[in-house]
């Protein structure tokens, strides 16, 4: 059972008291989160941590997942890519698939929240149920970098998002002119989750042994991400090859599958081809075992997030929380997490990434300092408690004074 009190030693008693006070005003309201996968990717990661703590606060919260065929998730992946500004053709037949699956979910899902909290484009069409749920408030939470979306796709989604009461984005750069009021709320990490807690020496040894990785042999450069073109794993390999000419190191690429991402095998194949059998490149396609990710981040000398587009990149906060020096692209929500040359290094190209990785491998004291600063920045801004507070405030803001229950 998640217990908010243990966060006290990290964020202080006042923060906990504040959360309990805010939560008190929401007694009697049910919050229903809906997204498109229970496992894999940042959204599922965050929901799995937020929901138990909301419950601990006495906020009646539940989480459901839409159903969709593989064909539907092919379409939604194209929508996702188009929202990120990547050229992708969405044909009339593809929109038909999207509309059919949406209609099916609209018809069959048990929607029961006083606040309906819909994550990302895949389930956005559930808003069609709004007329039948007169008192419910609807929030669309967009986790995607929509700073430069494909116009046609964005306008199509506008038929849906303009009917919501509120929209939430991770970065101010993603905001657009739209009917619902907008909130800027960044994601967060849970310092007590298996992915971020302290790990034992035995756990580290077990994981390293399982994947045959020896951090003593050569320093490890690591990127943890789904095998997705927008995470640019092939670009990471190219950067590693540039670094390797000057500093001997090994590269660890780790990715799992997400039920709503059909491109894993294609991209993983490209990664293996680019690796070309280099024994110092470990490209792992893994099951979802959070403490293993924790270990990989902890044994790395440098953590990389060389994304081309990014909603937020929880992996950056996760690595910084572990005091790791991070080299990451200045895209999406990453610059919120990294102040360049203070709490990590931002890069703009493969060459830039290589330059920064090399610099950090050559200057361990500087790397350590960046990691320390980065950790403090995450403690102050990107832990779960700040995120929960902002969600509670958002929920309350949807009601007028008379609707709110006095605790
Ligand atoms: N992740 C994981 N196993 C992997 C790769 C990623 O558990 O093999 C996790 C990662 O630690 C992070 C989440 O999945 O918590 C990815 O979130 P992020 O915001 O970085 O990217 P997204 O996948 O949502 O685009």
Where do the domains of the chain lie, and which CATH numbers do they carry? 4-188+383-397 (3.40.50.2000), 201-381 (3.40.50.2000)
pLDDT at position 35, please? 98
The answer to whether residue 201 scores a pLDDT higher than 70 is yes
Tell me how far the alpha carbon of residue 246 lies from the centroid of ligand 1, in angstroms: 30
pLDDT at position 261, please? 87
Residue percentage of the chain with pLDDT more than 70: 98
Pocket test for ligand 1, best of 226, 304, 318, 328 (most atoms within 8 A of CB): 226
Higher pLDDT pick, 87 / 342: 342
First and final C-alpha spacing in the chain: 24
Ligand 1 atom with minimal separation from the 312 CA: 19
**106, 109, 142, 363 from 103: Cα distances, Å:** 5, 10, 21, 56
Upper half-sphere CA count for residue 119 (Cβ side, 13 Å): 24
Q: Are strands 115-119 and 30-35 parallel, antiparallel or unpaired?
A: parallel
Nearest-CA residue for ligand 1 atom 3 is 256
Nearest to 99, CA basis, from 139, 131, 133, 71: 71
Cα angle for residues 46, 52, 58 (degrees, 5° grid)? 130
Helix H or strand E segment including 218 = none
Tell me how far the alpha carbon of residue 288 lies from the centroid of ligand 1, in angstroms: 10
Ligand 1 atom with minimal separation from the 305 CA: 20
Region 277-298 average pLDDT? 96
Tell me how far the alpha carbon of residue 208 lies from the centroid of ligand 1, in angstroms: 20
Region 229-241 average pLDDT? 97
**pLDDT level of residue 407 (50, 70, 90 thresholds):** low
Nearest-CA residue for ligand 1 atom 17 is 42
Tell me how far the alpha carbon of residue 293 lies from the centroid of ligand 1, in angstroms: 9
Tell me how far the alpha carbon of residue 403 lies from the centroid of ligand 1, in angstroms: 38
Ligand 1 atom with minimal separation from the 289 CA: 7
Pocket test for ligand 1, best of 43, 44, 45 (most atoms within 8 A of CB): 45
pLDDT at position 1, please? 52
Tell me how far the alpha carbon of residue 286 lies from the centroid of ligand 1, in angstroms: 12
Give the sheet arrangement for strand 166-169, strand by strand: 60-65, 30-35, 115-119, 137-141, 166-169, 181-184
Give the count of beta carbons closer than 10 Å to the beta carbon of residue 94. Answer: 18
2 in Cβ contact with 38 (< 8 Å): no
Distance CA 325, CA 369 (A): 8
What ranges make up the beta strands (E) of 257-388? 281-285, 302-305, 326-329, 345-347
Tell me how far the alpha carbon of residue 315 lies from the centroid of ligand 1, in angstroms: 6
**pLDDT level of residue 2 (50, 70, 90 thresholds):** low
Give the count of beta carbons closer than 10 Å to the beta carbon of residue 74. Answer: 15
Give the count of beta carbons closer than 10 Å to the beta carbon of residue 289. Answer: 14
**pLDDT level of residue 404 (50, 70, 90 thresholds):** low
The three-state secondary structure class of 53 is helix
The answer to whether residue 251 scores a pLDDT higher than 90 is yes
Region 263-277 average pLDDT? 97
**pLDDT level of residue 405 (50, 70, 90 thresholds):** low
Query: How much is the mean pLDDT over the chain?
Result: 95
Distance CA 189, CA 5 (A): 17
What ranges make up the beta strands (E) of 257-365? 281-285, 302-305, 326-329, 345-347
The three-state secondary structure class of 18 is helix
Tell me how far the alpha carbon of residue 289 lies from the centroid of ligand 1, in angstroms: 11
The answer to whether residue 206 scores a pLDDT higher than 80 is yes
Residue percentage of the chain with pLDDT more than 90: 93
pLDDT at position 77, please? 94
Distance CA 336, CA 50 (A): 21
Pocket test for ligand 1, best of 307, 314, 326, 332 (most atoms within 8 A of CB): 314
Backbone angles phi, psi at 230, to 5 degrees: -70, -15
Tell me how far the alpha carbon of residue 182 lies from the centroid of ligand 1, in angstroms: 25
Tell me how far the alpha carbon of residue 134 lies from the centroid of ligand 1, in angstroms: 36
pLDDT at position 400, please? 78
pLDDT in tens, 74-98: 999 999 999 998 888 899 999 999 9
The answer to whether residue 356 scores a pLDDT higher than 70 is yes
Nearest-CA residue for ligand 1 atom 10 is 315
Give the count of beta carbons closer than 10 Å to the beta carbon of residue 48. Answer: 15
Q: Environment class of residue 24 by beta-carbon count within 10 Å: exposed (0-12), middle (13-18) or buried (19+)? A: middle
pLDDT in tens, 149-186: 999 999 999 999 999 999 999 999 999 999 999 999 99
Distance CA 304, CA 82 (A): 24
The three-state secondary structure class of 30 is strand
Chain center to CA of 276: 30
The answer to whether residue 403 scores a pLDDT higher than 80 is no
Distance CA 321, CA 372 (A): 9
As beta bridge partners, residue 251 has 221, 281
**pLDDT level of residue 384 (50, 70, 90 thresholds):** very high
In the structure, which protein residues have their CB atom closer than 6 angstroms to any atom of ligand 1? 41-42, 45, 195, 224-226, 254-256, 286, 288, 290, 293, 311-315, 318
As beta bridge partners, residue 77 has none
Region 239-264 average pLDDT? 95
Nearest-CA residue for ligand 1 atom 11 is 315
65 in Cβ contact with 34 (< 8 Å): yes
The pTM for the full model equals 0.93
Nearest to 46, CA basis, from 262, 296, 313: 313
Ligand 1 atom with minimal separation from the 316 CA: 20
Give the count of beta carbons closer than 10 Å to the beta carbon of residue 256. Answer: 22
């Amino acid at each position: 059972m998640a217990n908010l009190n243990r966060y006290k030693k990290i964020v202080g008693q006042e923060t906990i008291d504040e959360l309990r006070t805010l939560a008190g005003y929401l007694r009697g309201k049910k919050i229903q989160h809906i997204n498109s996968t229970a496992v894999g990717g940042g959204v599922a990661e965050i929901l799995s941590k937020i929901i138990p703590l909301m419950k601990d606060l006495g906020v009646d919260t539940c989480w459901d997942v839409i159903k969709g065929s593989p064909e539907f998730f092919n379409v939604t992946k194209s929508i996702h890519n188009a929202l990120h500004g990547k050229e992708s053709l969405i044909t009339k037949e593809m929109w038909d698939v999207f509309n059919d699956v949406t209609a099916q979910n609209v018809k069959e899902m048990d929607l029961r929240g006083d606040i309906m909290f819909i994550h990302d484009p895949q389930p956005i069409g559930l808003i069609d149920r709004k007329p039948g749920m007169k008192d419910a408030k609807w929030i669309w939470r967009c986790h995607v970098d929509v700073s430069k979306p494909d116009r046609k796709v964005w306008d199509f989604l506008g038929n849906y998002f303009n009917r919501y009461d509120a929209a939430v984005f991770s970065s101010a750069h993603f905001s657009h002119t739209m009917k619902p009021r907008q909130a800027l709320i960044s994601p967060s990490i849970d310092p007590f989750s298996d992915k971020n807690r302290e790990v034992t020496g035995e756990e580290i040894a077990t994981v390293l042994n399982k994947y045959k990785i020896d951090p003593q042999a050569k320093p490890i450069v690591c990127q943890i991400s789904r095998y997705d073109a927008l995470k640019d794993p092939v670009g990471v390999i190219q950067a590693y090859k540039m670094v390797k000419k000057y500093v001997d190191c090994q590269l660890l690429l780790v990715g799992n599958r997400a039920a709503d991402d059909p491109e894993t095998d294609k991209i993983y194949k490209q990664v293996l081809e680019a690796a070309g059998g280099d024994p110092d490149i470990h490209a792992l396609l893994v099951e979802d075992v959070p403490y293993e990710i924790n270990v990989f981040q902890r044994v790395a000398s440098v953590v990389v997030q060389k994304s081309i587009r990014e909603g937020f990149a929880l992996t950056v906060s996760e690595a910084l929380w572990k005091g790791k020096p991070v080299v990451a692209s200045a895209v999406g929500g990453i610059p919120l997490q990294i102040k360049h040359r203070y709490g990590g290094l931002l890069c703009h190209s493969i060459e830039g990434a290589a330059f920064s990785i090399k610099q950090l491998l050559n200057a361990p004291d500087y790397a350590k300092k960046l990691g320390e600063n980065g950790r403090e920045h995450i403690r102050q801004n990107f832990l779960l408690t700040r995120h929960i507070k902002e969600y509670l405030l958002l929920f309350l803001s949807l009601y007028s004074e008379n609707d709110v229950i006095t605790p």
